[in-house]
Structure 1
């Protein structure tokens, strides 16, 4: 894939992306979902603001919704992969099931997924939006109120521009989705489990991406699970 010149403040991206910069206060997921029926796959909505990393990409899945939801795991893993590349090498980064992004043990945000309302589990969605929302500067005005959270600027990312984080996530997401399509579910599953905290003995169901734990415990892609459960 060829790369285009920098567009709307983002570093160079593969030509399949059509970036749309949004002002501070906008919601990238909402805007990407609004644009999805008109602009189609590759539409990349991102918020050009310094306080958070918000980005969302429109996808056109070929699988029924139940299986296509695995794109949420790809989006979350891509976020961790991008942070590993751009962040301090000594800071641990991980994924908490299904889509919470952890830096140095604290939550910095999550990956998100949206599909057309009313899409049946057995139907192929007309479109899908995969996105991320990561906190850049935390809650300095309310210290101690969110003890389990941290922020990227507090963990060594203060000098990394938001557009660079957005572009890195988008590139990793597309690489992960291409790998899933070309090499099958196993490789994506392997990458997710590499990033997942408490993954000992875990596996992913190839049919719908559900997390399978020892003892027969099962958690769907859309189910939250606390560490240690």
Structure 2
């Protein structure tokens, strides 16, 4: 059956009723080819998930998490009104105009940072409409349409996300991570601010070459938190 969405070469889509991330992870464990985009469109939520087949250790391959975030910002930036600001949290959270609005998650076949995994899945979830009639009760959380994007159709957003993500993936593979670092840092939320990540709280100094968080605590000690700590268990 022909997929109703249009994807760039080497990518193809599968629509599912719900939980695109779980579907993509299931397909990956079955040996599905890389480049599959699972997607689900609900009344109040859209989801998508992309399967990667890394050729580098997981520590480096986890750059796909910020890479997918930059691809999303590019995609929404092309479809949304220009006044809608998109920023990215280190942990995969998406921010629209400063408020949380969904985010990314990750799962790999093997959580060993030094091993090359058989597969890596990056999932995206984005709320479209508020779940309640009182969105003002949670000013730190928002939705796509609540931020003035009623003309952004989820199918178009998923297509654009796939295209922009593939572009950044090609650049990363050919030229290394320098361009991705520059693009991501321009969008990073809370850089230089006090943040809490896991059991640690401190100043978010930046990231290393593999996007591990550099966090300086109140005692002046600097901690390195790898992106692999964000992985969900298969």
Equivalent runs, 1:172-183 vs 2, <5 Å: 172-183=164-175
Decide which structure has greater strand share: 2
- CA-to-aligned-CA distance 1:25-60 (integer Å, 9 cap, x gap): x10110001111332201110003342221011100
Contact 1:109–1:134 (CA<8 Å) still a contact in 2? yes
Partner of 1:220: 226
What root-mean-square deviation, in Å, do the aligned CA atoms of Structure 1 and Structure 2 show?
A: 2.2
> Which residue is equivalent to 2:211?
209
**Cα distance change, pair 19–109 in 1 and its aligned pair in 2 (3 A):** same
Tell me how many residue pairs correspond in the alignment.
213
- Whether the aligned pair in 1 keeps the contact of 2:55 and 2:116 (CA below 8 Å) is yes
Correspondence 1:108 to 2:104 = no
Following the alignment from structure 1 to structure 2, what is the Cα–Cα distance between the partners of residues 9 and 202?
Answer: 44
Q: C-alpha distance in 2, partners of 1:144/1:155?
A: 13
3-state DSSP of counterpart to 1:19: strand
Match of 1:39, SS state, is coil
SS of structure 1 residue aligned to 2:170:
helix
Aligned with residue 15 of structure 2, among 21, 24, 37: 21
Q: CA deviation at 1:126?
A: 0.3
Q: For structure 1, which runs of at least 5 residues remain unmatched after alignment?
A: 1-6, 225-229
**How many Å separate the matches in 2 of 1:124 and 1:156?**
42
Q: For residue 114 of structure 1, report the CA deviation from its aligned partner.
A: 1.1
| Residue 16 of structure 1, CA deviation | 0.9
The separation in 1 between residues aligned to 2:182 and 2:142, in whole angstroms, is: 27
Q: Are residues 202 and 179 of structure 1, via their aligned partners in 2, closer, same or farther at CA, if it must alter by over 3 Å?
A: farther
Cα offset for 1:222? 5.1
- Does 2:140 match 1:148? yes
The TM-score normalised by the length of structure 1 is 0.84
SS state at 1:20 partner: strand
State how far apart, in whole Å, the 2-side matches of 1:218 and 1:98 are. Answer: 14
Q: In the alignment, which residue of structure 1 is the partner of 2:200?
A: none
Match of 2:113 in 1: 121
The alignment partner of 1:111 has SS state of strand
1:132 aligned to which of 108, 112, 124: 124
Length-normalised TM-score, structure 2: 0.82
Q: Hey, what does 1:167 align to over in structure 2?
A: 159
> Contact conserved, 1:27 with 1:47, CA < 8 A, in 2?
yes
C-alpha deviations, 1:34-92, integer Å up to 9, x for none? 11133220111000334222101110001111221111111122222211111110122
Q: Distance in 2 between matches of 1:112 and 1:77?
A: 14
Match of residue 185 from structure 1: 177
